[in-house]
Each structure stands twice: as structure tokens, then as C-alpha cells.
């Protein structure tokens, strides 16, 4: 895995992807949380093949700008570029475009973690909070 690694995913906006359906607004356009999930998924999928067995990445930061609206039926393309590797921290620059313009961009950090250890800590926390 090296800086410059890219991945592209597309999404055709459906009713379930709209702000009016996910609770982030009232209009039937691509919701910011859905765009954020597309960005995170694209970045995560780009590095997954390069990780050791039992490892994954988790998102820790997302500095996102949602610049334009896309209604139902429009297809957007998300491209992530791995720009920096600092031990376990991976930094990405991500852009979402429709056929006309950039509709979103972000800087995103993910950390490489052990799946088992991460879930053990989450379960321990759940036990403390439930008790």
C-alpha cells in the first residue's frame, strides 16, 4: 500500500438516499450522511486488499463539504486517493462528482486496527455502560 492508491465507486441516488428519508433535511436530494458513507466506503475498500489477515480500518475523521444537490436518478462518482501513511493512520482526499460538477469533497482519516481487539474493547465498553 502506497500513497497515490485510488478507488472509485458510483451511486445512483434513490429515494432511500435522500435527506428527506434519512432525517438530515426535508428535500428529496442526496443526503450528506449518505455521501459521507459513500466516501468512507470507497476509502476503506481501497486499502482492504493490502491489510494483513485480521486487520481492518476504522474512520476517525471526516472533514466534508457538500457543495451541490443531486436529486433522485442522478449517478455520482466517488474517488478516493490515499495521500499519506503515518504508521497506522491513513489519510485520504475524496471527491464526489456528478456529470456536471464536484458535489462533495473531504479529507478523511482511517486507522488500521485489529478486528478482534477493536471489538473486545467495544464489548467491554458496552458492559460498563449497561451495568
All structural domains of the chain:
6-130 (3.10.129.10)
Averaged pLDDT for residues 12-36: 97
Q: In the numeric block, which cell numbers belong to residue 86?
A: 503515518
What per-residue confidence (pLDDT) applies to 73? Answer: 97
- Which residues neighbour 23 within 8 Å (Cβ) at sequence distance 6 or greater? none
Average pLDDT, the chain: 96
The share of the chain scoring above pLDDT 90, in percent, equals 93
- SS3 readout for 8-61: EEEEECCHHHEHHHHCCCCCCEECHHHHHHHHHHHHHHHHHHHCCCCEEEEEEE
Q: In the numeric block, which cell numbers belong to residue 40?
A: 468512507
* Rg of the chain (C-alpha set): 16
Q: Which contiguous run of DSSP H or E holds residue 88?
A: none
* pTM for the whole structure: 0.93
Averaged pLDDT for residues 27-32: 97
Name the residue among 85, 73, 77 with its Cα closest to residue 105. Answer: 77
| Residues 83-115: tens digit of each pLDDT | 999 999 999 999 999 988 999 999 999 999 999
What per-residue confidence (pLDDT) applies to 66? Answer: 97
Amino acid at each position: 500500500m502506497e500513497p497515490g492508491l485510488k478507488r472509485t465507486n458510483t451511486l445512483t441516488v434513490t429515494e432511500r438516499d435522500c435527506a428527506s428519508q434519512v432525517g438530515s433535511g426535508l428535500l428529496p436530494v442526496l443526503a450528506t450522511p449518505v455521501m459521507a458513507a459513500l466516501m468512507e466506503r470507497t476509502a476503506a475498500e481501497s486499502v482492504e486488499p493490502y491489510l494483513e489477515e485480521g486487520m481492518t480500518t476504522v474512520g476517525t475523521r471526516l472533514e466534508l463539504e457538500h457543495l451541490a444537490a443531486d436529486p433522485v436518478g442522478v449517478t455520482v462518482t466517488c474517488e478516493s486517493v490515499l495521500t499519506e501513511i503515518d504508521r497506522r493512520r491513513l489519510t485520504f482526499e475524496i471527491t464526489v462528482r456528478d456529470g456536471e460538477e464536484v458535489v462533495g469533497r473531504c479529507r478523511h482519516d482511517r486507522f488500521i486496527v485489529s478486528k478482534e481487539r477493536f471489538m473486545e474493547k467495544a464489548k467491554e465498553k458496552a458492559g460498563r455502560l449497561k451495568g
